[in-house]
Every structure is written in structure tokens, then in C-alpha cells.
């Protein structure tokens, strides 16, 4: 989990800025937890992490039962290399197409 600030407009059109945390981070998206504002799908928000400022679009929202908290899924509006300042080498290896160890035509 990484602490981040999220800034945007909630579902009622009110501007907000609050401290939340990441649950999952990938090069092209993030899942945030501890969000206390209801957002709309397709809304744009800004996420601040350390000295970084990143733009995202809301792709899904989930209200947690029995709480006033939401989890939100965000997709990056721009593909920035190392936008989080993290290494995604393991993620890239998992998403790359699997290649056969043997050369074609060799049994």
C-alpha cells in the first residue's frame, strides 16, 4: 500500500482532495481504497504520489458494505514510463505472451 492524495469532483459536483491509499498498482492503472467520496465512472481525477502528479479516469466504483468507504479502479490517461517510480519488470513478464522454449520445427 502506498499513501496517495486524490483530487477531483465527486458525484455531486463538489471538488475534493483527500488522503487515500493504493491497493494495486500497474503501469496503466491503480485500485484505490479508503475513498470517502462517491465518484462517477468516466470522471477524471488527479493522483499525487511523492513529487508525481498523474491523471486517471474512473473505470469502476465499489462501495464497501457497512462503511462509508469506496474502492475505485482508475486507468491512466497517459502512459508514462515509471510514473510511480517503481519497477514493473515482474508485471511485464507476467503480461508478455508466453513463448515456447524450443525453436519451431524442433521436436
- Structural domain including 14 reads 3-80
Q: pLDDT tens digit string along 52-97? A: 899 999 999 999 999 999 999 999 998 766 666 555 555 444 444 4
Q: What is the pTM of this model?
A: 0.75
On whether residue 89 sits in a domain, the answer given is no
Mark residue 34 as left, alpha or beta (left: phi above 0; alpha: psi -120 to 50; beta: remaining). Answer: left
On whether residue 92 sits in a domain, the answer given is no
- The CATH number of the domain holding residue 45 is 2.40.10.220
Q: pLDDT tens digit string along 36-47? A: 999 999 999 999
On whether residue 98 sits in a domain, the answer given is no
On whether residue 86 sits in a domain, the answer given is no
On whether residue 56 sits in a domain, the answer given is yes
On whether residue 35 sits in a domain, the answer given is yes
Cell of 100: 515456447
On whether residue 93 sits in a domain, the answer given is no
Task: Quote the number of domains for the chain.
Answer: 1
Amino acid at each position: 500500500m502506498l499513501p496517495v492524495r486524490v483530487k477531483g469532483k465527486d458525484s455531486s459536483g463538489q471538488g475534493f482532495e483527500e488522503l487515500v491509499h493504493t491497493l494495486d498498482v500497474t503501469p496503466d492503472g491503480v485500485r484505490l481504497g479508503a475513498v470517502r467520496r462517491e465518484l462517477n465512472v468516466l470522471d477524471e481525477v488527479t493522483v499525487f504520489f511523492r513529487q508525481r502528479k498523474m491523471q486517471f479516469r474512473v473505470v469502476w466504483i465499489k462501495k464497501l458494505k457497512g462503511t462509508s468507504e469506496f474502492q475505485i479502479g482508475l486507468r491512466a490517461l497517459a502512459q508514462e514510463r515509471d510514473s510511480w517510480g517503481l519497477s514493473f519488470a515482474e508485471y511485464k513478464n507476467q503480461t508478455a505472451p508466453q513463448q515456447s522454449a524450443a525453436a519451431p520445427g524442433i521436436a
